Amino acid sequence: MKNLMIAIVERKDFQSLFDALKKKGYQISGPTLRDNAVIYDNISSVEDLPVGWTDKQDAGRYRLEKSDRASLFGYVLGPQSWKKFLYPAEHTFLNISRNGKRFEVGSAEEEQQPQAFIGVRPCELQALAIYDRVLGEGEFAATSYQLRRKKLFITAVNCIQPGGTCFCASMKTGPKATGGFDLALTEMFDSGRHYFLTEAGTKLGEEVLKQIPNREAGEKDILAAEEALRKASEKMGRRLDIKDIKEMMYRRFDDPHWEEISQRCMTCGNCTMVCPTCFCVNVEDTTSLDGREAQRLRKWDSCFTVDFSYIHGGSIRATTTSRYRQWMMHKLSYWQDQFGMLGCVGCGRCITWCPVGIDITEEAAYFRKEDK
C-alpha cells in the first residue's frame, strides 16, 4: 500500500476540518475552556477551541495563562480524558418494567452517533489502545464502549510544548503520535506563518484531508516538525525509568515507604478520576418507589474508596497504605500481568491533580534507589 498523505493545512483553512467532519455526520468533541480549565466537550467550530491559551502544571498545581501567540492547541492536558465519551461516568445498561403480572427486561444499549475527537494527544492515543485491550476485547468486553469506539474518528495533535508533569517520552508514548489516529497534526509557527503539518493515518483520514484546502508537505516542512518534536522530547517535566519496573515494584511490595506515602494521601480518588486508563466501576440497582420500574447502572468508582474492596466481613484494603499501593502497583506491575502492557501512559494528570502533589515518578524513583 502506498504511503498516505502528508500535507500542510494553513490556519485560515482549519475550520474546513470541522466542516468536512460534520458533513460526514460526526458529532465533534474537543478541547474548550470552562471553569478555568481546558475540558473536553462537544464543539462545532475553531472558535470553541482554547485559542491563545496555555497551561502551567506542577505537582498539585494547574493554572491557565494567556499565550503570546494564537495557538489552537497550546495547552497540554486538562483534568478530563476521552474516556468520559467512550466509557461515561454513569451508564444505564438494563431497564426492567412491570407489565401486569409480568416483567419486561430490556437492554439500554443503543447505536451511537459517529463521533470525532479533535486534539487527542499521543499519550491519550496509548490510553485508548489500552481501553481497546481492556474494554473492547474478550469475553467480558463492554458493549457500550464497543458501540462508541467503532464509529470514532480521531484527530491527534503532536506535542511540541510538554507540560511540567509530562513524562510521555520515557514511557515511549509521545510526544509524536505513531499510530491509532485518522489524522495527526503538528501545529507550527514559522516566520509569521501559522500552519499544521497534517498526516493521514488511515484511508478515512486521507479522504477527509482531501476535502480540506491543503498543499503537499515538502521535506523541509517534515524536518521542521520532526525537529520541534525532538526538542519537545528533551523538555519533559518528569521522567519514569520503566526498565524492569514490574519486577522492581514487586520486590518493594513490603517497603516501609508505602506507609510514608499514606501519611500524605487523602484517598480522595482524584488520581483515578483524571487517569485516562482507570476503568474501575461499581454496579448499582435502583427501583422506583411504586415498584414498577428498575434499572441497573454502571458508575465510575475508585480503588481508593473503602467500599470498593468490600466483601463479606469487610474491606480487604481497609488502610490508606494498602489502597495507594494497590493503585500504583496496578499501574506499573499488575497491569502488565493482566494485559501485557503498562497501565500508565505518562500524561502526568495524577501528579497535577493530586491535592497534596504525590508524584508517581518520584515514588517509583525512590523505590528503585532502595532496590539497588
Length, in residues, of the chain: 372
pLDDT of 305 above 50: yes
- Say what the pLDDT of residue 8 is: 97
- Say what the pLDDT of residue 36 is: 94
Alpha-carbon gap, residue 304 to 317, rounded angstroms: 9
At 262, the pLDDT band (50, 70, 90 cuts) reads very high
Alpha-carbon gap, residue 88 to 82, rounded angstroms: 9
pLDDT of 372 above 90: no
Collect all residues with Cβ–Cβ distance below 8 Å to 255 and sequence separation of at least 6: 367, 370
3-class DSSP assignment, residue 355: coil
The most distant pair of C-alpha atoms in the chain lies apart, rounded to whole Å, by 76
pLDDT of 41 above 70: yes
Burial of 319 from C-beta contacts in 10 A (0-12 / 13-18 / 19+) = middle
- Say what the pLDDT of residue 107 is: 75
- Say what the pLDDT of residue 14 is: 98
User: Which of 82, 301, 44, 305 lies closest to 181 in space, CA to CA?
Assistant: 82
- Say what the pLDDT of residue 139 is: 86
- Say what the pLDDT of residue 1 is: 40
At 191, the pLDDT band (50, 70, 90 cuts) reads confident
- 203 or 313, which is more confident: 203
**How much is the pTM?**
0.93
Alpha-carbon gap, residue 166 to 356, rounded angstroms: 18
Of the chain, the end-to-end C-alpha distance in Å amounts to 49
Alpha-carbon gap, residue 137 to 143, rounded angstroms: 10
At 291, the pLDDT band (50, 70, 90 cuts) reads confident
Q: What would the 3-class secondary structure string for 87-124 be?
A: CCCEEEEEEEEEECCEEEEECCCCCCCCEEEEEECHHH
User: Which of 60, 49, 48, 57 lies closest to 78 in space, CA to CA?
Assistant: 57
Q: What is the tens place of the pLDDT at every residue in 118-141?
A: 999 999 999 999 999 999 998 888
Burial of 294 from C-beta contacts in 10 A (0-12 / 13-18 / 19+) = middle
Which of 27-36, 102-111, 217-226, 351-360 is the least confident region?
A: 102-111
Cell of 74: 497550546
Helix axes 360-371, 320-329, angle to 10 degrees: 90
Cell of 82: 476521552
- Say what the pLDDT of residue 109 is: 67
Domain residue extents for the chain: 6-233, 245-371
Handedness of CA 197, 203, 204, 206 (dihedral sign): positive
- Say what the pLDDT of residue 143 is: 87
Collect all residues with Cβ–Cβ distance below 8 Å to 179 and sequence separation of at least 6: 125, 201
- Say what the pLDDT of residue 23 is: 96
- Residue 218 is given by DSSP the state P
- Say what the pLDDT of residue 88 is: 93
Q: Within 10 Å of residue 370's Cβ, how many Cβ atoms? A: 13
Q: What is the tens place of the pLDDT at every residue in 321-357?
A: 999 999 999 999 999 999 999 999 999 999 999 999 9
For the chain, give the mean pLDDT: 94
Q: Is the peptide bond before 114 cis (omega within 30 degrees of 0)?
A: no
At 2, the pLDDT band (50, 70, 90 cuts) reads low
